Amino acid sequence: MIRYSKLGYVALNVSNLGRARDWYEKVCGLQYNGAGSTGELYFRTGKDHHSIALHEAQPPGLKRIGWELEDDTQLDVLARALDNHGVKWRAMNDDECRAAHVRKGLRMREPITGATMDYYPKAMGQQEEPYIPAVVKMQHLGHVVLGTPHYREALDFYHEVLNFKTSDEIDGRISLMRCFPNPYHHSFGIAHADTNTLHHVNFMVSDEDDLARARARFAAHDVPVVWQGYHPPSGNTFLFFLDPDGLSLEYGYGMELFPEKNPRPPRVFQPRPESFDSTGADRDARVASCGEIETAEAL
C-alpha cells in the first residue's frame, strides 16, 4: 500500500512565459523562485522549492504532476505496484531530478489520461526563507483534477494501483480523492469529460478575505471569475478564475480533513447542480474548457 506525503507540484504549459511570470506572481499570488536550465519558471507556496513550474509550450495545459511519497521506501512499493499491473515506468535521470529539485524519483505515464507523473520521496529541496504572502494568504497547492471519457476505468486505476481513496463522488461526474494517508478531502480528482483534459488546479487560501480581495484584484486585471460558491462534498468555499491562456484555476478554503484510521465512508451525491455548488451561482461555460494533457514527453 503506497503511502504518500502530498501533492508535490504541478507543471503547466503556457503560451507566453513572460506574461505568465508576472501574472502568476502578481495576480495569482505565487512567489517567483527563479528559472530552470531549460527556461522553465518556478513558483512556490511555502518552503518547497516550487509548487508550480511553468513551461513555454503549445497548447496550454498540463505537462506533469509530481507526487511526494512518505519516504524512500515508498518508491520501491510504488515500483512493485506498477510492475504488478504492467505499467511502464523508469527512474528519473540526474537532469530530471535536478530540474524537479528532488534527490531521486520515478516517472510514469498514467495509462488512462496519458498524464505524466513524477514520484519522489519526501522532501523536495527546501527554501530557507519563508514564503511571503504578497497578494493572497496562500496555504498550499491544493489539488489537481483531470477529466477523461474513461471515468470508471480511471477510478479503478487510481484506487487499485496508486492507492488513492475516494472521499466523495458526484455519481458518474467527479470523484474526489485523497492520496493516502494525506488528510485533505482531495488532493486529486477525476472528472467525466469528452476528452482527456486538465480540468483545474486548486490553491488553498486562508479565508473569505482572500476571496474578497481576489475579486477586486481580478476585476482590476480583467481576469474572468468563472464560478464561485460552496462545494457540499468537500466543504470548500471556492472561486474559479482563468489564467491568461484560459486554464482554470481555483482558490478554496475550508476543506474537510480525514483521519488515517477509521475515516468516514465515501458518499455518493446525486449528479445535479446543487451537488457541485449549493449556492446556485452561475457556472460559466469556460470552466475547465481548455487544458491539453501533454503526452509528447519521452519516457
Nearer to Fe ion, 109 or 143 (CB): 143
CB 2 to Fe ion: min, Å: 23
Does the protein bind Fe ion through residue 294 (CB under 5 A)? no
Q: Is 132 exposed, middle or buried (0-12, 13-18, 19+ CB in 10 A)?
A: exposed
Does the protein bind Fe ion through residue 250 (CB under 5 A)? yes
CB 184 to Fe ion: min, Å: 11
Nearer to Fe ion, 250 or 294 (CB): 250
The one-letter amino acid code at 198 reads L
DSSP 173-213: TEEEEEETT--BS-SEEEEE-SS-EEEEEEEE--SHHHHHH
SS3 content of the chain, % helix, strand, coil (to 5): 20, 35, 45
Counting residues that bind Fe ion (by CB under 5 A) gives 2
CB 72 to Fe ion: min, Å: 31
Nearer to Fe ion, 40 or 250 (CB): 250
Are 97 and 26 spatial neighbours (Cβ–Cβ below 8 Å)? no
Q: Which residues contact 182 (CB under 8 A, 6 or more apart)?
A: 4, 5, 6, 7
Are 207 and 147 spatial neighbours (Cβ–Cβ below 8 Å)? no
CB 80 to Fe ion: min, Å: 31
Q: Which residues contact 63 (CB under 8 A, 6 or more apart)?
A: 11, 12, 13, 53, 55, 57, 116, 294, 297
Nearer to Fe ion, 175 or 202 (CB): 202
Secondary structure class of 274 (helix, strand, coil):
helix
Nearer to Fe ion, 28 or 106 (CB): 28
CB 200 to Fe ion: min, Å: 6
For Fe ion, which stretch binds (CB under 5 A), given 20-28, 38-46, 117-125, 242-250? 242-250
Does the protein bind Fe ion through residue 168 (CB under 5 A)? no
Secondary structure class of 218 (helix, strand, coil):
helix
Nearer to Fe ion, 67 or 251 (CB): 251
Nearer to Fe ion, 120 or 251 (CB): 251
Whether the link from the prior residue into 123 is cis, omega within 30° of 0, is yes
CB 45 to Fe ion: min, Å: 16
Select from 51, 139, 202, 275 the one that contacts Fe ion (CB under 5 A). 202
Are 126 and 48 spatial neighbours (Cβ–Cβ below 8 Å)? yes
**CA 203: distance to chain centroid?**
8
CB 234 to Fe ion: min, Å: 8
**Chain residue whose CB lies nearest Fe ion:** 202
DSSP conformational letter for 172: T
Nearer to Fe ion, 110 or 250 (CB): 250
For Fe ion, which stretch binds (CB under 5 A), given 72-80, 106-114, 165-173, 248-256? 248-256
CB 102 to Fe ion: min, Å: 25
DSSP conformational letter for 276: H
For Fe ion, which stretch binds (CB under 5 A), given 35-43, 167-175, 194-202, 254-262? 194-202
| Grid cell at residue 55 | 513551461
Question: Which phi and psi angles does 134 have, rounded to 5°?
Answer: -100, -50
Residues that bind Fe ion (CB under 5 A): 202, 250
